[in-house]
Amino acid sequence: MNGAQSLIRTLVNCGVDVCFTNPGTSEMHFVAALDDVPEMRGILGLFEGVVTGAADGYARIAGRPAATLLHLGPGLANGWANLHNARRAHTPLVNIVGDHALPHKHLDAPLESDIEAIARAVSGWVRTSTSSEAVALDAADAVRASMEGPGQIATLILPADVSWSDARGPAEPTNPAVAGPPQAHRIEAVAAALGDGQPAALLVGGRVVRGEDGLVAAARVAAGTGAKLLCETFPPRLLRGAGVPAVERLGYLSEFAEMQLAGLRHLVVVDCKEPVSFFAYPDKASVLVPDGCQVHHIAEGDIDPVAALTALADELGAPAEVPLQAAGRPEAPTGDLTAQTMAEALGHLLPEGAIVSDEGNTAGLFVSGATAGCPPHDWLTLTGGAIGQGMPLATGAAVAAGDRKVVNLQADGSALYTIQSLWTQAREGLDVTTIILNNQSYAILNMELARVGAGEPGPMALSMLDLTNPVTDFCAVAQGLGVPAERATDAEGFTAALERALAIPGPALVEAMLPPTL
């Protein structure tokens, strides 16, 4: 048994049995070892941003990590942006980066680079395995590290000779730290503070909003105190739909977020960060918590946030029954195809149990409202702001999804960062329906250009945000990558095309031609 075999066998022992790969020469022993451990499913991506984003999407749905296999520093760099999103999502992810054989490294061969430096900037745990006899234990440590706390990226750097040299055998799983119980004094203090009758809100995210237990606990606290119930702007995974307690997401635009938070005296933050604006703007505040508002945390560090919220609700004597989202779908839309009618069509058709990978950006503005009363579904958002997440995330989510349908709501500009995802969807027969929102523009940047106060933009500036020359034909691109596609130009056509695409038990793409500006 060589190092690579002991590594892969260990991963499987630890419950990691999917590996998204884009290998090179230094990873060939790992690739060869895949056939020795048939429980490990290798899934090829044609670009590393697909690989890392898919590993993120897989874990958000499966609730346990996938592994990646990347080739040296450039491969890690190509996958870095979606690792950044996964870091912000607190996704558990075992990120394996092949390296030159250890005696080769000092020669500064063309592909040599400082892998650890790049890895540290995005990982919670980094280790270079230095011997084939240690790599199994290193792998078990990496899996454990990836699941620490809310979850993090554990990067294991794997020199080629560590893969190819003799190893002892696989390692057993090491136990991750278990989340601690709520701290009674903290819960009591927050309950007392909320009792003062002043305006309050609960801002929840992370593990609280991914399942019914957390959402019910949060809704109980809101019902028991009259506090407003808010959700972080970009939750990794949000359960929503008919029969589920609804949460209002904090706005991306700080102007909106400030309105949502205005006048508050208490803000209880659970499993997410205190709100700050996404970007800075001249003469605008970056901190969104209003002056005079006290911020309370009830579950910092290793404490289970859902248990803490439940304890808070109990402490408050909050009712067990909470308001639930009513069922309801929009009618099938007619007329022009706009961001609004596109959203209505999706709300009209979204299947029960769907998983939505949402990188709709500006064009997806109306989708949240139009789908609120659909049967329960999961919503995955762009957690770190690094565009090019939506298609890879949908790809990985579909691997974990069993018979659930994945819908990828995808802005055109962002789609072109990781369009290679479609090939992996075709190859693996993944059940993803992609909706391309083709407004032929980096529309969000047109909006931001106005917001940053840079004056009236000239033709060169506008041309930097304009995708009309040429207009990408996403149907042609998708077909070239093996995914059936059709283009829709009016609301009826889009609704019909979406219905056909959703009926296909595999990947399909619908290109929604939207007005060039919102």
211-250 positions binding a second copy, by CB under 8 A: 234
C-alpha 495/C-alpha 341 separation (Å) is 9
What one-character-per-residue DSSP string does 302-360 give? TB-HHHHHHHHHHHTT--S----PPP--PPPP-SB--HHHHHHHHHHHPPTT-EEEEE-
**CA nearest to 467, candidates 417, 399, 404:** 417
CB of 477 to a second copy, least distance (A): 4
**CA nearest to 330, candidates 279, 287, 374:** 374
Q: Binding to a second copy (CB under 8 A): which residues in 61-120? A: 73-75, 77-78, 80-81, 84, 88, 100-101, 103-104, 107-111, 113-114, 117-118, 120
CB of 200 to a second copy, least distance (A): 23
Q: Which two tokens stand for residue 468?
A: 């009309």
What one-character-per-residue DSSP string does 79-112 give? HHHHHHHHHHHT--EEEEEEE--GGGGGG--TT-
CB of 178 to a second copy, least distance (A): 27
Strand ordering across the sheet containing 125-128: 41-44, 18-21, 67-71, 93-99, 153-159, 125-128
Nearer to a second copy, 46 or 332 (CB): 46
Binding mask 265-284 for a second copy (x = CB under 8 A): --------x--xxxxx-x--
**Under the criterion CB under 8 A, does residue 20 sit at the interface with a second copy?**
no
Nearer to a second copy, 307 or 465 (CB): 465
Q: How many CB atoms lie within 10 A of CB 390?
A: 30
**Under the criterion CB under 8 A, does residue 291 sit at the interface with a second copy?**
no
Binding mask 151-180 for a second copy (x = CB under 8 A): ---------xx--x----------------
Region of 98 (left: φ > 0; alpha: ψ -120 to 50; beta: rest) is beta
Q: Binding to a second copy (CB under 8 A): which residues in 34-63? A: 34-36, 38, 42, 44, 46-47, 49
What one-character-per-residue DSSP string does 247-267 give? -EEPPSSHHHHHHHHTT-SEE
Which three-class secondary structure state does DSSP give residue 512? strand
CB of 455 to a second copy, least distance (A): 6
Q: Which of 12, 193, 324, 461 binds a second copy (CB under 8 A)?
A: 461
**Under the criterion CB under 8 A, does residue 496 sit at the interface with a second copy?**
no
User: Can you name the residues that pair with 438 across neighbouring β-strands?
Assistant: 513
CB of 165 to a second copy, least distance (A): 8
Nearer to a second copy, 110 or 301 (CB): 110
Q: Which of 206, 245, 384, 390 binds a second copy (CB under 8 A)?
A: 384
Nearer to a second copy, 47 or 494 (CB): 47
Stretch that binds a second copy, among 28-36, 178-186, 256-264, 311-319 (CB under 8 A): 28-36
C-alpha 443/C-alpha 312 separation (Å) is 42
Binding mask 325-364 for a second copy (x = CB under 8 A): ----------------------------------------
Nearer to a second copy, 114 or 291 (CB): 114
Q: Which two tokens stand for residue 207?
A: 């593990």
**Under the criterion CB under 8 A, does residue 295 sit at the interface with a second copy?**
no
How does 142-160 read in b/e, with b if 16+ C-beta sit within 10 Å? bbbbbbeebbbbbbbbbbb
Q: Which of 132, 146, 155, 420 binds a second copy (CB under 8 A)?
A: 420
**328 contacts 373 by C-beta, under 8 angstroms:** yes
Q: Binding to a second copy (CB under 8 A): which residues in 395-414? A: 413
Stretch that binds a second copy, among 133-141, 204-212, 339-347, 385-393 (CB under 8 A): 385-393
**380 contacts 236 by C-beta, under 8 angstroms:** yes
User: Can you name the residues that pair with 486 across neighbouring β-strands?
Assistant: 510
**Could you tell me what percentage of the chain is helix, strand and coil, using 3-state DSSP and rounding each to the nearest 5?**
40, 20, 40
CB of 12 to a second copy, least distance (A): 13
CB of 330 to a second copy, least distance (A): 31
Q: How many CB atoms lie within 10 A of CB 199?
A: 16
**Under the criterion CB under 8 A, does residue 419 sit at the interface with a second copy?**
yes
CB of 103 to a second copy, least distance (A): 7
Inter-CA distances, 67 with 18, 165, 280, 384, 439, Å: 6, 21, 35, 20, 35
Nearer to a second copy, 169 or 480 (CB): 480
CB of 27 to a second copy, least distance (A): 9
Nearer to a second copy, 111 or 324 (CB): 111
CB of 348 to a second copy, least distance (A): 28
**Site residue total, a second copy (CB under 8 A):** 102
Residues 6 or more apart in contact with residue 14 via CB below 8 angstroms: 139, 140, 143, 144, 173
